């Protein structure tokens, strides 16, 4: 009798992998953004969140011809989300100014000459003072105005206080929060525990500029691997400031960072799903196994079995660790009678986790779904020169 067992992750492929967050504050003169386009094309399975900054904001509701060309090309890639820059000035900007910025960016969605759509807003210099309620009120008003301006258009929001989040409400108000933005000389892996609350790694982002003066390519890769291992939602290491984001002269150009984030997943491909096996209790069983590489890091795995018979008894066991999501694994087992069968998905990342499905009647099992969910393990506002763009006239 033939039994088909399908294991499929409940999350979309790559949906929890660490994204590349790029403040692209350079003016899009001919060829300037080419290193970014090249990195995007070379890494189609990596999601890019790219922040466009015309003049510390949108500089009007209609993009000029250079930005039309540049943004339209960004939007031509399926793995790119283009965001507009909004300058909060740590709470000193007026709400009228923020609302006008949001409305201008929203208007780019309606531009008819090309696809200059803006899918999100990057709220830079988010106010983030411990013990105050005014910060939450300020950002709530700003986000509500942005949502009103964007209307039916999709809107991803990123807050950038550049430090550990002082207000729990920010995790609800924003899709992502930048929990560290400082020069490379100030960074260490301790940020991954000190600045990221439990369960918030997937909403956390890290930006590290000025890396060239202190780091090497190998160190950049090591840092990115550590970020990905705990499930940081988005990250970037830049050699210089954001108005030199496309520079290829230092140890961490955008091409290397993109490749390093992809390499984290590729390394998990061989290390995380080490074995998918089906073993039947009788010698007459023949097993056919197809395994598919994992796509992202998760920390908690649960197992659900669906059967066509109430007689099927399913026992599950799952361990919690840093592991990889299995995109799809199909197994077909031909058995005679109803021998006990064991389907084991062995995964390892930093340690080994195993998901074991045992049923007394494998031929009645229609599907087994492995559902994955992310899990993971104050400070002052800072104003940095790399956070804002300077107007550049072509």
The HSE-up count of residue 146 (CA atoms within 13 Å, CB side) is 29
| pLDDT of 120 higher than 80 | yes
Residue 48, pLDDT score: 99
Dump pLDDT digits (tens) for 239-256: 999 999 999 999 999 999
φ/ψ of 132, rounded to 5, equals -110, 155
* Percent of the chain predicted with pLDDT > 90: 62
What does the pLDDT average to over 25-30?
A: 96
pLDDT band, residue 154 (cuts 50/70/90): very high
For the residues 385-393, what does the mean pLDDT come to?
A: 44
Higher pLDDT, 105 or 386: 105
Predicted pLDDT at 264: 82
Architecture label for domain 19-263+377-387: Alpha-Beta Barrel (3.20)
User: Tell me, what's the pLDDT at 384?
Assistant: 45
Q: Report pLDDT for 95.
A: 98
Task: With a cut of 50, say whether residue 359 has pLDDT above it.
Answer: no
**Residue 53 pLDDT greater than 70, yes or no:** yes
Q: Which residues contact 51 (CB under 8 A, 6 or more apart)?
A: 21, 22, 23, 24, 25, 83, 84, 85, 122
Give the span between the Cα atoms of 68 and 246, in whole angstroms.
19
**Residue 375 confidence (pLDDT) above 70:** no
Mean pLDDT along residues 359-380: 36
Residue 291 is predicted with a pLDDT of 38
Q: Which of 355, 353, 333 is nearest to 344 (CA)?
A: 355
pTM: 0.71
pLDDT at 319: 31
Which residues are bridge partners to 180 per DSSP?
Answer: 206
Which sequence spans correspond to the domains of the chain? 2-10+270-373, 19-263+377-387
Residues above pLDDT 70, as percent of the chain: 63
Region 162-189: mean pLDDT is: 98
Mean pLDDT value of segment 267-288? 40
**Tens digit of each residue's pLDDT (9 = 90 or more) over 262-275:** 988 666 554 544 43
297 pLDDT higher than 70 = no
Residue 86 is predicted with a pLDDT of 98
The tens digit of pLDDT for each residue in 81-117 reads: 999 999 999 999 999 999 999 999 999 999 999 999 9
Q: What is the pLDDT of residue 191?
A: 98
Distance between terminal CA atoms of the chain? 71
């Amino acid at each position: 009798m033939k039994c088909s067992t399908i294991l499929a992750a409940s999350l979309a492929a790559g949906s929890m992998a660490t994204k590349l967050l790029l403040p692209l504050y350079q003016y899009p003169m001919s060829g300037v953004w080419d290193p970014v386009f090249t990195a995007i094309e070379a890494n189609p399975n990596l999601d890019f969140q790219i922040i466009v900054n015309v003049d510390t904001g949108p500089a009007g509701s209609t993009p000029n011809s250079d930005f039309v060309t540049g943004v339209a090309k960004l939007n031509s890639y399926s793995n790119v989300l283009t965001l507009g820059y909004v300058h909060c000035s740590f709470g000193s900007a007026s709400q009228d100014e923020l609302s006008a910025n949001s409305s201008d960016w929203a208007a780019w969605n309606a531009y008819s000459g090309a696809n200059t759509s803006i899918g999100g807003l990057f709220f830079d210099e988010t106010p983030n003072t411990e013990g105050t309620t005014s910060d939450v009120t300020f950002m709530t008003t700003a986000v509500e105005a942005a949502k009103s301006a964007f209307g039916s258009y999709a809107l991803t929001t990123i807050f950038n206080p550049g430090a550990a989040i002082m207000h729990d409400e920010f995790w609800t108000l924003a899709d992502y929060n930048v929990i560290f933005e400082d020069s490379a000389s100030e960074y260490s892996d301790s940020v991954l525990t000190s600045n990221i609350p439990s369960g918030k790694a997937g909403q956390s982002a890290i930006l590290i500029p000025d890396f060239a003066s202190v780091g090497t390519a190998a160190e950049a890769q090591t840092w990115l691997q550590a970020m990905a291992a705990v499930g940081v939602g988005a990250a970037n290491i830049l050699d210089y400031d954001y108005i030199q984001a496309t520079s290829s002269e230092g140890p961490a150009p955008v091409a290397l960072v993109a490749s390093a984030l992809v390499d984290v997943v590729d390394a998990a491909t061989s290390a995380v799903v080490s074995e998918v096996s089906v073993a039947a209790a009788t010698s007459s069983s023949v097993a056919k196994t197809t395994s598919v590489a994992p796509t992202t890091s998760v920390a908690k795995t649960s197992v659900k079995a669906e059967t066509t018979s109430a007689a099927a008894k399913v026992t599950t066991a799952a361990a919690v660790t840093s592991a990889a999501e299995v995109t799809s694994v199909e197994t077909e087992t031909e058995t005679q009678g109803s021998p006990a069968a064991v389907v084991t998905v062995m995964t390892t990342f930093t340690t080994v986790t195993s998901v074991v499905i045992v049923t007394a009647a494998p031929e009645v099992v229609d599907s087994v779904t492995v559902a994955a969910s992310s899990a993971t393990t104050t400070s002052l506002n800072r104003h940095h020169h790399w956070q804002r763009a300077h107007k550049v006239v072509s």
